[in-house]
Amino acid sequence: MASTTLLNLLEDTIDVFRFDTKNLNLSIGVHVFCAIAILLFVVSYLIPLLVKTYVTPSHPKGGNGRDYEALKGNRKSLVLTEDAPMVQFSVATANFGGIFTENGPWIGTVHPEAARLQVEAGARAIVLDVWPDTADPTRPMVCAMVGTGHYSNWKRATRNALPVGEILNAAILAAFDTPQASDPFFVILKLHGHMTAEYLNTLGDIVGSSIAGHAMPSAWNKAANQSALCSATFSEFMGQAFVIVIPDSDGIGTSAVYNLLGKSTPSYAAFLKTFMNTRMGEVTNAIERAPNTILFEPSNIGALTVANQPPCNNTEDQLTLPQAGFCLVQPPIGGTTTNNDLLFKANSWKACSIAQFVAVNLFSPSDSQLDAFFETFGTVSFKRMD
């Protein structure tokens, strides 16, 4: 009886062992299958994504197959047969100032060489999007933030950010070391984020240092002569850097205005008054005095054709905004594309050229808008408006 019981127990143990071995073999098979699936996912998807995200692509030499450095020697200054108001000229303008662009997941890399090549391509105006450094709010940086109207204050669209002085110095050096050195040059600063007086004083020192030797006459400081733009002639700007400031106010009472004035609901006029008392205000030659009076997107250029501005020099007729002063059409740079054809989908680059400055991405690899840009300007950077 005891031997029978012992035999039965031994048989039960062997059966359990056999069952567990089968389960073990099955478990090993499942784990091997899962490991292979994970490996395939990593190789086919995750590694390419990480490479695309973290490995900076090689910098382009130009756009649409052009080598801007090689073409630099072909550039020419505009020869005027007769002087005319500066507002009557289209100006070759670089969007994504100081940024080597790409398409997703980042829109590009900020680099001084990008600014140099943009100027060597013929840009006599460069749009720099400037933000306070997220790590040190007193440091002005060039970068793009995510957004297409209301931008994030912390989430970058570019791979990096660089001090504005590095980018601006490269642009100014290129602008006045070129066959086009005698042409006017325009620095368009779009100021975003939480601006303080300390920050604007720092930015003003940087800009003043960068344009030293090429600044406009002191009569233009603090935008004091801005009302004269309707009649100021091309020759008055030659060989000089003109600074245009567009604060990203996004309406009254934003964080930018709040931080500068220390009030929750200041007026835009109060903001301008305070801004002009900073060192950045000192070096400003023109500023957007009310939202949507200088800066426009391709989708809202209709406002540029409305004659609602005061007459120039006591003439009788009211003026459009581009007749009265400078206007910029710039597609947003914080979206998902850097392709000009998509950025100018609402209205073409040519249709937008009722403004003096219509900013294009000069590093777009292939698009019709960039071709139209070069066909219009050729080897010069200014064209009299029709």
Residue 6 has pLDDT above 90, yes or no: no
CA dist 377 and 359 (Å) reads: 13
> Structure tokens of 230?
């309707």
* Residues of the chain above pLDDT 90, percent: 65
Average pLDDT over residues 64-81: 90
**Residue with more model confidence, 21 or 167:** 167
Residue 342 has pLDDT above 80, yes or no: yes
* pLDDT tens-digit series, residues 106-120: 999 999 999 999 999
Domain boundaries along the sequence of the chain? 1-55, 60-384
CATH 3.40.50.300 fits 60-384, yes or no: no
Residue 44 has pLDDT above 80, yes or no: no
CB 357 within 8 A of CB 91: yes
* Residues of the chain above pLDDT 70, percent: 81
For helices 164-175 and 197-210, give the axis angle rounded to 10 degrees: 30
**Residue with more model confidence, 271 or 110:** 110
* pLDDT tens-digit series, residues 189-240: 999 988 889 999 999 999 999 999 999 999 999 999 999 999 999 999 999 9
Return the beta strands (E) in 175-319 as ranges. 185-191, 241-247, 286-287, 295-296
* pLDDT tens-digit series, residues 148-180: 766 777 799 999 999 999 999 999 999 999 999
pLDDT score at 147: 81
pLDDT score at 252: 37
Q: What is the pTM of this model?
A: 0.84
